[in-house]
Amino acid sequence: MSKDQMATKIKIAEAAVELFTCQGYQGTSVRQIAKKAGVNLALVSYHFGGKKGLLEELVSSFYEGYIRKIEVVYHTSADQPEKERLLEVIESVLNYQLRQPHLSRFVHREMTLDSTLVREVMTTYLAKEKYYYDSIFEKGMKQKEFHKQPVMLLTLQLRNLIIMPFLHPLYISEVFYTAPHDPLFVTSYMSFIHKWLEQSVCVPQRKGSLLSAVQNPLFATIQEKWNG
Amino acid sequence: MSKDQMATKIKIAEAAVELFTCQGYQGTSVRQIAKKAGVNLALVSYHFGGKKGLLEELVSSFYEGYIRKIEVVYHTSADQPEKERLLEVIESVLNYQLRQPHLSRFVHREMTLDSTLVREVMTTYLAKEKYYYDSIFEKGMKQKEFHKQPVMLLTLQLRNLIIMPFLHPLYISEVFYTAPHDPLFVTSYMSFIHKWLEQSVCVPQRKGSLLSAVQNPLFATIQEKWNG
């Protein structure tokens, strides 16, 4: 594909994301997409084979990149503690979505429908995503770095935390005072996730935090002795 | 309103929910709604003042009922432990959504858009929902029933767990093997939430679980002595 053709393809994709997001997929016509992109109607069919093909390519290219981000961290960080791996995966996927917030939100919304496309995405991409998260949690538990608890529950919570700011940015910003459009979003949200891991996932490492979690006078006495 | 008029109003509302869910709000016309409901076009305007009014009434009646469920439990359970109150609130809201899964999904999806209606819902209903969850978590921490941790994080996770099965039923069923349409959904999902509360929210109460959380040889020795 020539440079010009690629530029046209990108223009069409961007116009489609904007229109789908505002008017919904059903409420948008190929004519409107071509008009917004400033290209001839025939070029939409040429590049994407029509509206359905455009939707499929948007969704699958989003998930290709998304899973790639997880895979890269997963395979390059295998010798690190599982908590660090998890933090790296999360930060990478948050940044990936942050670079394309409209597409991210559109895809996550689309995933709440029942359709053949959604079922395909489930069995290819979302099952892979689940596999990586499950593996990290399982390994962390095996190595006693994480508390024993249902992996399913942790993976579900992790995934919710990762997609929520992009699926419901307004909710997050009006009710939780942080949102993807804030310049410090990733930093503040990561500290949020860090607390979740420390509190709910990891076995406490330091003496202080280990003992403070235990509400028992006998332990308080031991702590006093240890701390001199 | 007469019984007949009420029946007509309900028929229109049900037709709209079905069409909005399948085709999106933007992709649905008043004409289609009237046709599906089997009523005269003019009756949609008469009962709801048009498509926008219909959407507003659907969303606000959903949230009126939703918040009412939370409020009732909140006010009648004030003397119970906070964990029990939370479980009761959650079960009540899950059952509420279960009775109208299409409307629930549609409303939760609609909340992912930026619109004046969404902003209004945020400041009226979702702020109230947050207030009740926050209050229970804060009281639980004050009474040392819950671990000290950011209330915001707990409320966000709780809300995700409550709406997720209805917003993403396909994801939940394909990847997590439970979904609102399973006859045992509430029972199995509640046991899931129960584990989350035990593991991540509550301070351990029983000796056994208290000690098993502590990965330290000294504590293991003490445990052995205690257990004889």
Chain centroid offset of residue B179 CA:
14
Cα(B128)–Cα(A160) distance, rounded to whole angstroms?
Answer: 21
CB-based contact A152 B123, cutoff 8 Å: no
The first and second tokens of residue A206, run together, are 């330091």
The first and second tokens of residue B153, run together, are 């994080």
Q: Which chain A residues are closer than 8 Å to B144 by Cβ?
A: 215
Cα(A118)–Cα(A60) distance, rounded to whole angstroms?
Answer: 10
Q: Which of A154, A23, A110, A13 is nearest to B109 (CA)?
A: A110
Q: Which among A147, A156, A192 is the nearest to B213, CB-wise?
A: A147
In a mutational test of the B interface, the residue from A20, A199, A206, A223 whose CB has the highest number of chain B CBs within 10 Å is A199
CB-based contact B210 A214, cutoff 8 Å: yes
B130-178 confidence digits (pLDDT tens):
999 999 999 999 999 999 989 988 999 999 999 999 999 888 887 777 8
Calculate how close chain B gets to A23, using CA atoms only, in Å.
Answer: 6
Region at A16 (left for phi over 0; alpha for psi -120 to 50; beta for the rest): alpha
Evaluate if residue A228 carries a pLDDT over 50.
Answer: no
Write the DSSP string, B40-74. Answer: -HHHHHHHHSSHHHHHHHHHHHHHHHHHHHHHHHH
Give the burial class of A55: count Cβ atoms within 10 A of its Cβ; 0-12 exposed, 13-18 middle, 19 or more buried.
Answer: buried
Q: Is the alpha carbon torsion for B62, B65, B69, B75 positive or negative?
A: positive
Calculate how close chain B gets to A177, using CA atoms only, in Å.
Answer: 10
**In angstroms, what CA-CA distances link B199 with B196, B209, B210?**
5, 10, 11
Q: Which among A105, A160, A174 is the nearest to B160, CB-wise?
A: A160
Cα(B48)–Cα(B1) distance, rounded to whole angstroms?
Answer: 13
Cα(B174)–Cα(B164) distance, rounded to whole angstroms?
Answer: 13
A191-213 confidence digits (pLDDT tens):
989 999 998 899 987 544 444 44
Calculate how close chain A gets to B128, using CA atoms only, in Å.
Answer: 10
Contact criterion met (CB below 8 Å) for A108 and A166: yes
Contacts of B184 (CB under 8 A, 6+ apart): none
Cα(B223)–Cα(B227) distance, rounded to whole angstroms?
Answer: 6
Query: How many residues are given for chain B?
Result: 228
A133-172 confidence digits (pLDDT tens):
999 999 999 999 999 989 988 999 999 999 999 999 888 8
Q: Which amino acid is at A174?
A: E
B2-34 confidence digits (pLDDT tens):
899 999 999 999 999 999 887 788 889 999 999
Chains A, B: CB pairs < 8 Å = 121
Residue of chain B with shortest Cα separation from A197: B200
Cα(B18)–Cα(B20) distance, rounded to whole angstroms?
Answer: 6
A29-68 confidence digits (pLDDT tens):
999 999 999 999 999 999 999 999 999 999 999 999 999 9
Confidence (pTM): 0.85
